[in-house]
Structure 1
Amino acid sequence: MDWVARTAQLRQWTRSGTRAPHKPLLFLYALSRFQQDADDELRYSTVEEDLRGLLSEYGPGNRTTPAYPFHHLVSDGVWEVRTDRGPGSPGTGVRELRATGAAGRLAPELRVALRREPSLLGRMARVLLDLNFPPSLHGELCEAVGLELEEAETGRLPAARRQRDRRMRETVLTAYEYRCAFCGYDGRIGAVPVGLEAAHVRWWAFDGPDDVENGLCLCSLHHKLFDKGVLGLGEGTGNGPPSEGTGEDPAEGHRILVSQSFVGHSTAARQGVITLAGRPLIGPQPGVRPVAAAHRAWHTSQVFHGSPRPAATT
């Protein structure tokens, strides 16, 4: 059976360009869970909030429920549902799925194929991403569902593989009260933060842990510049004024570094990047530990480019 083709042909309600990513999101989530534990079963009551969060952030603006794809993905031959009563889904009702102990997992034939050919998982995940979401969201989506895409595409399955903590993003964003630690940006669509990301200070690929002492809440622009080495973290007095317009106290001992190698003459480049030089970092809420010195030192030595600019004058 051509599982990649079947993945590309998921039955979705479409009309005049209307998006319906409900099944792709559940399927991507299920593939990630298979990658982590091939024998795992997804009980609806346990994964409902995860799925609801994915639909809220990456689905269309209209309200929906994760019960819909949990039931209907069965019709595509890639998913099965069982309840306390036996095989078969009780329907699309949330109460029914909860009350009957409904649990889903990838179809038996697909599980066999994925065990036989590990790289198949990566090809299927790539199709789901390419056909349903723009490239700018692929990395973020993989992080949100806990999928290691590069590993999946190459079929590498080491016995003692590190697993990402899918909760890191929410933990870090909560710790920094949903605002960029560099500029204070805090945009939302309704209750969903938009353009805010959890940045690893020491990269995960280089043994950086998935915890708040290795994380920063950054807007998309400053996350990219941080990972490119344009921005960094340096020591500071910790007694500077709050960043303008944020009302937040600076993080003890941390200030923002801006590389002298960065060049930008536009007003946006000056205001969004260059004027950050020397500014105190907006720290996490009281009771949360800031970035650990060892992680900050790793980023400075391994990622940050050249020498920092002197503190911006106002």
Structure 2
Amino acid sequence: MTVNEVERYEGAPSRQDEVQWLLQPRGNGKGGSEHFRHTVEEGVKLEEYEHLLGTEAAGLSACFPNGIPARFWGATPAAVDWHPKAKAIRDSKVGDEVLFYNNWQFIARATIVHKFRNERLAEALWGKDPESGATWQHMIALDDVVHFEAEARPVLESINVKGALRGLTLVPAAHRRAFISARGVPWQQRSTPGDLPAPRRPKSGPPSVLDERELLAAIAALRTHSRREGPSLHEPLALLWSIGRLTANKQRLAPWDVFQHEVGGLLSEFGGPGSRVTPHYPFWRLRGDIWEVTGLPDDAVDPGPEALSRADATAGFVEAAARSLRKARVRAKAVRALSTAYFDSATRPLVLERVGLHGYLSASGQAGGEPPTDVADAAQRDAGPVERTSVSGTRPARNQAFVRQVKSWHGGVCQVCSEPLEGPLGRFSEAAHIQGLGSPHEGPDSTSNMLCLCPNHHTQFDGLAIYIDSDWHVRQTMDDEPLYELRLDPQHRIAPEYVEYHRLLCGKDD
């Protein structure tokens, strides 16, 4: 199973009323607080533990892509199967909420995004329990971590826990529903600011899972102010800017001063005639299922720049929306929906360039296309009589064995036009990735994600001028005119999902 085939919330509850609470003592000793700080508050770099992940590597990479800190907690094995701890380990599930407990208070909550057992990884992260010698091998991966302080006694009393919480305890969904219905969520009681933002709508909270359909529907239903010149561009620009932040692995919630400066610049440049530069409008008015604001009460009325500064307000996509937007396919659809609905073909490339999403202007994700490795390297070696300029930068590393294999399967002949391009040293051909490597497309470097193309059709394919339909016909993007039938070889399996992704970039998704 590849990373692209793993859903982060596979098996998660489909509704909030199916979510359970997993009550988890943090531990009073130095070890507990250090473990919590290390793997929940700060998180770890997944690549540093790659050699210990085993069969969980694909699932965890899907949970924490692109350098996002991986957050973990674990439990030692229960002594007997009937113990509440054993039930909590066995019956908790992806999508459940973890309430971390310490000294009669709940101090944080998080969402389970993966469950697994890994003794070696647990030991590397936390060592061994000094008393039992066991590792915290029953592990959960966490997301949507929120710090707060709330009295724990009401929840403990409702489940007949007498005294302090001593061990891992599972609160069933029905009991959680009944408690919230009667008393509200626990973090309403003594909420205080923490390192991470509290939910914008504390009574029910934003959804823990927001699927592709829900996210795109919310974007399509965006309510923009109508002007004589057309719809206001404040909210579309703010959303594209925020997607650009996620793509660059920046913090999900942006401080008001950063938002004011950068989105204000976009409004000044692209807002159009008659448009006012008022970034505080989208900052606050986007609030809803996919956007949240922290630092101000929900009932505040259109706070201005000074009020937002005094409150140290932050804003951005809710965590559930951000999780969806970290998936390449969903992100590509959102970018295309916003950019094509609100910007014409002349303005669109400029806007995407300014918000850091220029990669969506080509299939390769590279400005001006991705040069074939052999040609690029040859150009670097060539030393002519003209003045040379050193240029630094990065591009995704390509496995040259895959490149040679794809060219060999097709005899160096373009799969689009079937025309061999002969030269003094043999045939010219290029191995083109269908779903581009690296950011923002995140395609894999594999033969199933490659085509053998001549330079002309490589340029057209990367420039989104041609696409491959579901019947393997090559068509012009502009008018869907059929041009060729893609030449296939039984040795070369091309994965349909990568071709579908390319169609999506061309605006031809199924």
Give the structure-2-normalised TM-score. Answer: 0.29
Q: Which protein has the bigger helix share?
A: 1
Q: Which of the pair has more CA radius of gyration?
A: 2
Give the structure-1-normalised TM-score. Answer: 0.46
